[in-house]
Chains A and B, each alone.
Chain A
Amino acid sequence: MSVDPAIRDAMLAAVPSLRAFAISLCGNVDRADDLVQETLLRALANIHSFQQGTNMPAWLFTILRNLFRSEYRKRRREVEDPDGSYAETLKTRPEQIGRVEFREFGEALSKLPQDQREALILVGASGFSYEETADICGCAVGTIKSRVNRARTRLARLLSIDDPDDFGPDRTTRAVLTGDDVA
């Protein structure tokens, strides 16, 4: 059976964002392209389970996310790496991608735990609602909200967005107040 042109167009229209999502998940353009390709093939193989008129991007993002996760788990198993430290090294090489001015951001993003990173990207950049993101990630809306919050907090810290000039004195002040050791 051949694919309904409308469905094919909807798939193609979703690809640029899907690909940006894949790149920001795995930090590597080639791997991201493979993921996108695999996602499209899966989607076509299961096209009967897609209901026309429903959310094509959300469906594709769900497939891609699951593929990425299972690949990650598999690698972890293959090299007997129960604590994930080897998988961690495979995860991202952000220096390979993006324009210079975004590298620092990409690097910070890559340091977030996977759960938090995907939630933040889906909500904050891919344009999904909290509800859609919860569906894509297979968890509750509240979970997504707290992941997004934690991701933001951590990113702010990693990027020292809270005013670097302020940081030294404030830390000292706090240490004085709380009796902590500053060093």
Chain B
Amino acid sequence: MKDRKQTDAPDETMVTEATTPRPKGHAALGREIQAKIGQQLRAYYDSLIEPTPERFAELLRQLDKADSKEPNE
């Protein structure tokens, strides 16, 4: 992948804070940014959550039945 060459350099991102008075700088990942990512991640994940598809409930029920019938055939 092409973004491989920009290797993670967490140290480099920590330096700027003192020299730049901007409220949202390139800080090591300020709390605000972390919170934003956390929110987006949860929103994304929650958007994938659906009630258990019937297929899985059915699967477990069938297995249950099959088990109690003794699989002789």
Interfacial residues, chain A to chain B (CB-CB below 8 A): 1-3, 8, 11-12, 15-17, 19-20, 23-24, 33, 36-37, 40-41, 44, 88, 97-99, 102, 105-106, 109, 111, 120-121, 124-126, 149-150, 152-156, 159, 161-163, 166, 170, 174
**Most A Cβ at <10 Å: residue of B26, B44, B52, B55:** B44
Q: Cβ of A15: which chain B residues have Cβ within 8 Å of it?
A: 52-53, 56
Which residues of B39-63 are within 8 A (CB) of A?
A: 40-53, 55-57, 59-60, 63
Complex contact B8–A154 (CB within 8 A): yes
Q: Cβ of A124: which chain B residues have Cβ within 8 Å of it?
A: 37-38, 41-42
Contact A102 B43, CB 8 Å, known A16-B51, A20-B48: yes
- Smallest beta-carbon distance B62→chain A, Å: 11
Contact A152 B45, CB 8 Å, known A37-B55, A170-B25: no
Complex contact A166–B45 (CB within 8 A): no
Interfacial residues, chain B to chain A (CB-CB below 8 A): 1, 3, 8, 10, 13, 16, 20, 22, 24-26, 28-29, 33-34, 36-38, 40-53, 55-57, 59-60, 63-64, 67-68
With both beta carbons as reference points, the residue of chain A lying nearest to B67 in the complex is identified as A2
- Smallest beta-carbon distance B40→chain A, Å: 5
With both beta carbons as reference points, the residue of chain B lying nearest to A11 in the complex is identified as B60
| CB-defined A-B contacts under 8 Å, sample of 11 | A12-B60, A19-B53, A20-B46, A37-B56, A40-B59, A88-B1, A111-B3, A152-B34, A153-B28, A170-B22, A170-B25
**Most B Cβ at <10 Å: residue of A17, A99, A125:** A125
Tell me what chain B mostly uses at the interface: helix, strand, loop, or mixed.
Answer: helix
Say which residue of A36, A44, A97, A152 sits within 8 Å of B48 (CB atoms). A97
CA distance A2 to B71 in the complex (A): 12
CA distance A149 to B45 in the complex (A): 19
With both beta carbons as reference points, the residue of chain B lying nearest to A146 in the complex is identified as B10
Complex contact A33–B8 (CB within 8 A): no
Say which residue of A36, A37, A41, A156 sits within 8 Å of B33 (CB atoms). A156
